[in-house]
Structure 1
Amino acid sequence: MTVTGIIMAIIIGLVVGVLGRLVLPGRQNIPIWLTIVVGIVAALLGTALARAIGIPTATSGIDWLELIVQVILAAVGVALVSSAYGRRGIRG
């Protein structure tokens, strides 16, 4: 992966992670770096899942259906990480 690819993955992960956090009700007590990590994982898994269920992911422009899948996965990931992070009693 190139440096540009890594930077783009971080930026997309940040956006997807923040959108996933926004769709969840209430407050999530996790640090922003963890939101970015969850967003990056959700973006990668969301793309793979979108391809697996037949959503086109190689279009010219924004792939809205793929983005929706990624945000849903990010919301689930943030909810899981937030509950596990909060149980430990560690606050960022």
Structure 2
Amino acid sequence: MFHLLGSLIMGALVGWIAGKLMDTDGGFLRNVIIGIVGSAVGSTVFGLFGFYAYGWFANLIVDVAGACLFIWVARKLFH
């Protein structure tokens, strides 16, 4: 139960930071979705290059980078 709550909070934080960096607007639900998808994207992309994040701060960096990549790709596809 607490793991799910922590994941949602982390997703919201990651989505909010990525939204600020990429200059996008969004509410709480959008930030959570962007954060969770971005976390998966970041972990996959960095894993392909042999980089694995250990620790809270390293995961935050990887997740934000993945969320920014996700936002960039979505902009290219839908704008």
Normalising by structure 1, we get a TM-score of 0.61
Q: Deviations over 1:37-77 (max 9, x none)?
A: 111111122123222221133x3x3353x433321221233
Partners of 1:78 and 1:16 in 2: CA distance? 12
Partners of 1:36 and 1:46 in 2: CA distance? 15
Decide whether aligned partners of structure 1 residues 55 and 76 sit closer, same or farther in structure 2, where only a CA change above 3 A counts.
closer
Alignment map for 1:1-92 (pairs within 5 Å) = 3-25=1-23, 28-57=24-53, 59=54, 61-64=55-58, 66-79=59-72, 80=74, 84=78
Deviation of residue 35 (structure 1)?
1.7
3-state SS of paired residue (2:52):
coil
The total of aligned residue pairs comes to 77
Query: Which of the pair is proportionally richer in helix?
Result: 2
Segments of 5+ residues of structure 1 without an aligned counterpart are 88-92
RMSD between superposed Cα atoms in Å? 2.6
Segments of 5+ residues of structure 2 without an aligned counterpart are none
Deviation of residue 14 (structure 1)?
0.8
Deviation of residue 21 (structure 1)?
0.8
